[in-house]
Structure 1
């Protein structure tokens, strides 16, 4: 099971960066997790659009799903369009993205499989478990497992005991860490800090912590320092092309 970071910026892509996007591979199956802003060019540096086997979206904010549109365009408008791409998302989460083109243009390029947060399901060789985690819009934290390995991903979330349950014993914990130390009051219920991500990782006993969704101006060292105050294991920041072979 291999995970490649396509981007890890929160809100909008910084210079030379991309927003949330992660390629998860196992036994030749390629799952794209959260195709946020500017992730498609990063993806195409590694594989063709037609080589993606499924997409899984944590929630409907565009920094997590906007590049679903150009991905589907690249598939639908190619010389030999591939089979419809399975897209797994919460109800209504990708409606706005799918509505960007003229009606019917992309209909044959995807198959929308909506799921309720809390549900479990299979995607190719992967087993997916999900949790409803607090955010400004409905958000599903997901745990993707295959071959005895697992990656846990929060999407974007405020404080919740379910974060620890999501991450418990995971080989890789991909945790939203928009702020290094403290989350502003107006965002406190809906976003997390690197320090909180470290606390969750320590309580969950994860193998490795990967901080993502940093505010574009946040120095990575500030996030790492904050997380290391509360988590004793290996920790890094999600940067494009970083790969983890579990």
Structure 2
């Protein structure tokens, strides 16, 4: 059965799925879906995923969305995936699940609205919203403190005291990388106090090279091109002309 992954590489969960496939030698067709061009809310895409978000996986006749669910499926559906990604051991697997559940309501709950109300506001057809940004950023100090003091155990390089990365490491590092779209001063204000988190990020990047770099190239190209232009807040990646959709959701909530 042919595997298809519908993704926009500007989406942090989509990057995690793409890196996982590459890391584990899983053959797949990447189908690009551009959320700035409203392709995620097109009738054609919503026939595949009615909630209008990426990533989406189609494996034969089986369709699945939500990156956590996709990563767990891929870890078991394809032979040769190393056990450390999503262990068969029930207790180890449950702990990975706890990290993934936690991050959606903490790190992601701060990072997504922060980036979408600042750097991605105008590409999404909105005005920057300082109030939303401030509220979103206020979530992050406690989230990163919890990350650093609880999920990173001892001197181990990866989450939960592991010596090799899991799908939790992959999803969380791709999430935090979205902060690269912010002004350097803001990003450094958020991440600067958390040296263990920054070290973990470097370890996770190194463990997933060269695919980590490949899948984040678009993010850095977008940041560089907009930083050198006169257009504020990534406005150089403009949405198409015409009426705005009432709601745009480019990655899973």
Query: What TM-score do the two structures reach when normalised by structure 1?
Result: 0.31
Higher-RCO chain (CA-CA 8 Å, sequence separation at least 6): 2
The structure with the largest strand share of the pair is 1
Indicate the structure (1 or 2) with the bigger Cα radius of gyration: 2
